[in-house]
Chain A
Amino acid sequence: MKKFTSIIAALLVLGSMPSMAQTQKGSILIKNATVITITNGTLEDTDVLVENGIIKKVGKNLSASNVQTIDATGKFLMPGIIDAHSHVGLDAVNEATSPITSEVKMEDVVNPYDVGIYRALAGGVTISHAMHGSANAIGGQNITLKHRFGTSNPQDLFMQDAARTIKFALGENPTRVHGRGNNNQPRTRMGVEAVIRNGFNEAIQYKKTWEDYNAALKKKGATPIPPKFDTRLQTLVDILDGKIIIHCHSYRADEIYMLINVCREFNITNIVFSHVNEGFKVAPELAEYTMGASIFADWWAYKFEVYYSTAYNAAILTKNGVVTSINSDSGELIRHLYHEAGKAQRYGELTDDQTLALITINPAKQLGIADKVGSIEEGKQGDLVIFNEHPLSVYAIPQMTFVDGVKYFDINTDANDMRIKVSATDAVEPIFLKEHDERCMHGVDFFFTNFGRNLFEHSH
């Protein structure tokens, strides 16, 4: 008995220790599930063994010693859902003060205490792409998060091996904020193109300036003067060098086609379009020149440029060979992305695998992480969800969610209050209005700090 308590005590101490260099990796054996692999069909009565965070074996009658076993008889196992467009877990979203803010990094403002991360886990989402807002033509650098909820350290949430990505935005948002709001460029869609094009051209000059300087340094006896350092332009150089994937907020076909042409001109192939409500009009072009489109299933008409929309968008894009995903862009929608995917199937009659690819392997491809996550394959990371029913059933409810083989959500042990950090002074904590992209909100957010974000829903 005494030994037992000391083991418990040791576990508690270990459990509360902040993970310094490495995040937690788990081992788990899930038995007798209907395994939806996404990339290799659906396997009945199959076991999945995860060791140290990696899927070790998918097969029948697996066994492993010293590994917790979960009987998933009659249940469905699928890869963790991936959201390619989210703002969950961020302390700030928009640095809406300049048409180009490629120097800002979302990793600087990750808030691991956001209970929205846990809610996403309860919806089976294991990875979200925490993005800058859409106020600027070229926004900030995004961060891909693994939902390792429970830590105080934002870095524990970072998917360290994910690709670098950046937010771009076209259309009404940047023209409203900077043009109408600040009497600055861009005021029109033409201006948005000019801002992006000028940015890239300046980046080319910037790159040359530093190359010349570094070359001059190598000459004997030379005393070159260092140029000014500019992270903003350096980030654009990295885009031109193919090191960063663009994720671009967009609605209309003409502007999508515009940015495709700009990218072709600058030899940029790493681009994904977000929202893309008129994507069905330029599906062949999206298929040929981009890494795909990340869309809403049936969400539109919230502003003028989003009226020409269809619930067949996902199916049309998919059937034209566009890598297509369905994203949430919302702390609420992120909890039922499997239903959102189901809508695409309802309208466009996609197959189950095509449909579930919209929220697993396809967003993984768009984030440059498809070799690590997005399907149940040996060697991939152990991000998994167990559903009670087929995930495309309207009765589907996630039961358990795993990240790197560690269970972060279990519907049977789901406490009422999952907050990690609580205010020492307020029983009801104020919810801060985080959206700053509306010019009309400038200077007045102070008066609205007690209003919920839901009242001022993120404008897409």
Chain B
Amino acid sequence: MNINPNIKLFGSLLILVLCTSLSPLIAQSDPTGEKRVTGTYAITNATITTAPGKSMAGATILIKDGLIHAVGTNLSLPAETQLIKADSLFIYPGFIDGASNSGITKPNDPQKGENFNPSDPSDELAGITPWRQVMDHFDPKSNQIADWRKTGFTIAQLIPDGGMLTGKSAIVVFGNSKSSNVLAQNTGLYAKFRGSRGTYPATTLGVMAKFRDLYKNAELSAQHARIFASAAGLTRPEINKTYEAFYPVLDKNIPILFEVADDLEIRRALSLQKELGFRMVLVGVTDVDRVIDEIKGSDTKILLSLNLPDDKAFKDKKDNESEDIKSRLDRVKAAHQNALKQAGILEKAGVKFGFITLGAKSGDMMKNIRLMVANGLSEDAALAALTINNAEILNIQKFTGTLEKGKLANLIISTKPIFAEEAEVKYVMADGYLFDYDLKAKNKGNGIEGVWEYTSETPAGSSGGTIEIKKGDAGYTGTITYDDPAGTGKASTGMNSITYSDNTLSFNFEVPVEGNLLKVNVTGEIKGGSFEGNLSIAEYGSFPMKANKKPNL
């Protein structure tokens, strides 16, 4: 068939005009050049895993308007399609995070004031803020979001920080920074066994009792409101925002997301659920082997942390320890091994679960998943725990969780099967927006030895210093200088655990602050002579850090 090329060109222009005219930005010029040319992508000739256990080779996925338009072979592609050749690459559904505190700040504690009575605090002072909305305390520009997106996460349930009842969670997609990116609000009420220091309730004893009390009085308060609405001549209900915040829980519209630290806390949460009858999701579950029957016997959803215990206690121990110490270390080792098996135990017991990033480090995530896989978790179950299971737990499976026509365009493109050790994430697409992690720019094999100048941004301001790395027989050694927190000037200290592989440099060092040693972890990526990463201090958070290598003389 011979079509006039001008007509074809005209046709595509027409489509382009029609498409773009839907956007309100069309009338404005775009001096920044940031506006993308097209929102239609086709990623071609890849191995596509549409859902755990379901893969097709040589397939193409077509993305349009933020949605998956088609997955398959021999797709007809619209003219405005941007092609991404993905021969030999692997595509997976974007990961979903069951519980995240990325970009979340803790609201300031209110002042206690004079004559404060710790036996009768306001709800806010007692850590009881179920009315809080997490989106009010969320910074979408946080580095943490970018870090996790780079590992493949495209959706997260954000949880608010605070005391025993922190507030309402929300679900966001890690898409274009111009969008609010909110998929759902009021998705759950977050609770934990955290007492309010020096104020009622201060211990688990008080938290359990207070939880029951709040729940039952919320029920009575709702009952009062109903009676008041239907009959005349009655005392008006006293509006209480804490009780009102419980109403969707009482109506079973949303679950309590209960954060648990160990099996005993799992039992405590389960016993509250049994007594009061709310829907529940357990967050940060560990020690499942000790409570597997109780978990199976309850109607509770399970979220597992991507954090795993470290092996420092027994890793570098010498053989000349006493028998007593040796048998102690053997038990620690067995307990550690058991911790790695937890995900596999859940899978074998037929309990569906999802993963969460809460309490985990993005740099360790894939390593930890591989450890779980080596200890009994199947790769399909691992993928399910990162995708469809969490979609179901968050009740968003209708529009995400797998790669199917009509679902959100959230996906990961990796160089190897996603859990393979050498796999690298090349692109992540979230909400139809493409994030390109250009691997070519990485300058492999270029050493890290030499002197680096770094700067870091912390809430205390910008600071910086130098890093000097040397390579010896036993690996890398180094020293770092930093602004001395004790006064003016620079202090310097040795760097520990320096590792460099796959262009990722990580190390840690310790800063003495008022008699304590503050451990600072640094991890980031080397591209040529520049380093970009994060400096993190437990309890305080993660802060951006950049460094440039001085030319070796």
Contact = CB atoms under 8 A, between A and B. Distances in A.
Tell me what chain B mostly uses at the interface: helix, strand, loop, or mixed.
helix
A350 B85 CA distance: 94
Contact of B200 (A95, A109, A423): A95
A48 to B, nearest CB: 35
Contacts of A426: 313, 332
A99 interface: yes
Interface stretch (A178-186, A291-299, A333-341, A383-391): A178-186
14 contacts: A96-B202, A98-B119, A109-B208, A152-B291, A223-B227, A228-B217, A229-B216, A419-B331, A423-B313, A425-B312, A425-B332, A427-B313, A427-B314, A427-B325
Given A424-B335, A425-B336, A426-B313, A225 B234 contact: yes
A360 interface: no
B198 A97 contact: yes
A92 interface: yes
B319 interface: no
B325 A95 contact: no
A442 B198 contact: yes
Contact of A223 (B118, B205, B231): B231
A184 B206 contact: no
Contact of B205 (A99, A105, A417): A105
A424 B332 contact: yes
Interface of A: 18, 20, 91-92, 94-99, 101, 103-106, 108-109, 111, 113, 132, 140, 152-154, 178, 182-184, 223, 225-231, 416-417, 419, 421-427, 436, 442-443
A417 B235 CA distance: 63
Contacts of A132: 205
B328 interface: yes
Contacts of A154: 264, 267
A152 B327 contact: no
B263 interface: yes
B205 A226 contact: no
B57 interface: no
Nearest to B120: A98
A374 to B, nearest CB: 28
Given A422-B331, A424-B335, A95 B205 contact: yes
B334 A103 contact: no
A94 B201 CA distance: 11
Given A92-B205, A182-B117, A427-B313, A152 B328 contact: no
A97 B203 CA distance: 9
Given A229-B213, A424-B336, A178 B328 contact: no
A105 B234 CA distance: 36
Contact of A226 (B213, B224, B230): B224
The residue among B119, B197, B271, B290 with the most chain A CB atoms within 10 A of its own CB is B119
Interface string B113-145: 001011110000000000000000000000000
B309 interface: yes
Contact of B201 (A95, A425, A442, A443): A95
Contacts of A231: 209, 212-213
Contact of A423 (B201, B205, B332): B332
Contacts of B231: 223
Nearest to B286: A424
Contacts of B339: 424
B329 interface: yes
Nearest to B310: A425
A414 to B, nearest CB: 15
Nearest to A106: B205
B163 to A, nearest CB: 13
Interface in B152-200: 197-200
Q: Which 8 pairs across A and B sit closest by C-beta, in order of nearness?
A: A98-B119, A97-B200, A92-B203, A104-B205, A424-B335, A424-B309, A152-B290, A424-B336
A95 B203 contact: yes
Contact of A152 (B263, B309, B313, B314): B263
A104 B209 contact: yes
B82 interface: no
B374 interface: no
B202 A184 contact: no
A442 B335 CA distance: 33
B265 to A, nearest CB: 9
B332 A97 contact: no
Contacts of B324: 416
Contacts of B504: none
A95 B313 contact: no
Given A18-B293, A97-B199, A231-B209, 8 more contacts: A92-B205, A113-B264, A226-B220, A226-B223, A229-B220, A416-B327, A422-B334, A424-B336
B397 interface: no
A436 B339 CA distance: 31
Contacts of B331: 417, 419, 422
A436 B338 contact: no
B128 to A, nearest CB: 14
A442 B197 contact: yes
B212 A425 contact: no
Nearest to B220: A226
A105 B231 CA distance: 39
Contact of A417 (B120, B212, B268, B327): B327
Contacts of B375: none
Given A427-B313, A427-B328, A184 B119 contact: yes
Contacts of A442: 197-198
